[in-house]
Structures are given as structure tokens and as C-alpha cells.
Amino acid sequence: MTYKLRTGDHKIEREIASLIESEFPEFEDFWNKHLEPLKKDGSWRNNTIEYLEYIGMANFAILKSINVINRNKTKIDVGDPDQSFKTIYFHFGLIADCVENLSRNIALTQHHLKIIKIDKKRRTKKELIANFKNWFSEEYSKNYKSFIQMGRPIIHYPRPNIKYTSVVIAKNARKEYDKLISSLRKYRNFYTHNPGVDIIKKGNELFVINRDHVKESRSWSELRNMLQRSPQVFINPIIQVNNDLKEVLSSLRVLWKSFDAKMTEIENHKNFKKIFIYQRIRLS
């Protein structure tokens, strides 16, 4: 049976069907080709390797965030108690997190089948110290002032050995995607981590600073002064969301070609049946 969002069991699926069909049709194609066979009686099988189920979960979580963004853009207004604009950019971040999760579980499935080899060894004390020294010389010194101004703690987190998107996604596609996500994360951080900063209403019009100019301001008063001085760097928030959502969906279309190729490689592997019917280890 072919999976169709328009006839899905969840309200989320039906609400977002039209947008996905027009802007991200690869989602349904990928689901039908690779995920629908992993279900039994409408639910995820509990006798496949966990990575395959996690791939399905990450896919559906992306769909939910797209739906939240698309639904909340109609609620954007000054004084909105749900802070819809901030919620939208929180979910852009969740989409990026789910893409990383999806990449990780595809890569781990390939590692399990010995298609690729992933070094999952814990870093040594020497490696961690070297990593910290590199962070201190390159990032701490240049970011110290902004950390203090924003009242943020200065914490170093060891970076993971592997960026899984680089293992799974084609280089050219990943380069453009990383650039977009980095910009969206900075925009999200500005609006979600700066207390009180929100959209501005002037007359009957709503304004937010354009994503490309967000680094130029950090406070509510600065934003208002900038709107007076440089109105050209401001934009209607609904237009900004529509532009960003369209750009993200276009980027996801390209990523899903890489995901499709990797999943096809997994399914064509001689040992795929062993992970499709798989005895999971249960914790007692």
C-alpha cells in the first residue's frame, strides 16, 4: 500500500500534505521506498535493528517541525502569548538536529553491515587536552567579550570524532546545507536567547531584522534605532519565515537524494535480511 500524507492517520500528515507534495516530494518517495516496509500492522517493527526504527522516527520528527513552522506563521503578531515567531525558529533548529540524527543512524547501519567503518573509540586524555587547547586559542579569546556581554557561561564541550552528515551526504550538497543551517542557527539564537527581543510593530506593519543582518544588533533598543536608520534591512516576519521555509525544503530535497542512495545501498547488501529480522538486545 502506497503511503500518502493526504490520507495519513495523523492530522499532522493531512495538514502538511499540500506543502510537502509541492516543495518536498522526496519525503513521500523516501518513506514509501525505505520506511513503509519497516512497518507491520501500521506500527514500527520491534524485530528490526534499532537504527532502522530511529531513521523512521527522525523522518517523522522533521515532518512535525515543518508542520509547526507552517501552522505558526499565521499566528505571528506582537504580544502573541505563544511567541510563534520564536517557536518557528526553534523548530528550524530541530529540523537540523533530526537531519544529523537521520545521518547518524544511516551511517551506523552501514557500519553494522561493514559497508563503511566508523571509529567509535573514546578519545584519550591527550586528545581531549589537544582539542581544548585548539578551542582556547581559536575560539575562546575572540568570543570572550561577547560571552561576558551576554551573561553566558564559558564552557568547552569536546567535539565529536565524526560529523555524520559528512559520512552520508554528498559534499556539494552538504556545503550548501551547512551554510544555510549555520545562518538559521544564529538567527534562532538571536531571537530565542535574547530576553524580550521580538518582532516590532510600526503603524500597521510588522518587522524583524533580515536574517542576513542579525549580527548587527543585540538589543531591543538597537533594533528600534536600526529600523529608523536602516529600514531596508528589516522584513515582514511572515515573509522571512516563508523565504526560510522554502529554502530549507529546497535544501532537504537535495539531501534526500543522498539518503535515498545510502538506504538503497543498505537494502541491497547481502546481510540486509539479518538486520531486517533482528533480535534486539533487551535490558532487564
3-state secondary structure 219-283: CHHHHHHHHHHCHHHEECHHHHHHHHHHHHHHHHHHHHHHHHHHHHHHHCCCCHHHHHCCCCCCC
Beta bridge partners of 121: none
Q: What is the pLDDT along the chain (284 residues), one digit of tens a residue?
A: 677 888 877 888 899 999 999 999 999 999 999 998 888 766 777 788 999 999 999 999 999 999 999 999 999 998 888 899 999 999 999 999 999 999 999 999 999 999 998 877 677 788 778 877 777 777 777 666 666 666 666 666 666 667 889 889 988 889 999 999 999 999 998 888 877 788 899 989 999 999 989 887 777 788 888 999 999 999 999 999 999 999 999 999 999 999 999 999 999 999 999 888 776 665 44
What pLDDT sits at residue 7?
A: 85
- Rounded CA-CA distance 103/100 in Å is 5
pTM, two decimal places: 0.85
Report how far residue 253's alpha carbon sits from residue 62's, in angstroms, rounded to the nearest whole number.
13
**Alpha-carbon gap, residue 248 to 253, rounded angstroms:** 9
Q: Where are the beta strands (DSSP E) in the chain?
A: 39-40, 43-44, 200-202, 205-209, 234-235
Domain ranges within the chain, ordered by starting residue:
5-121+171-193+238-276, 122-160
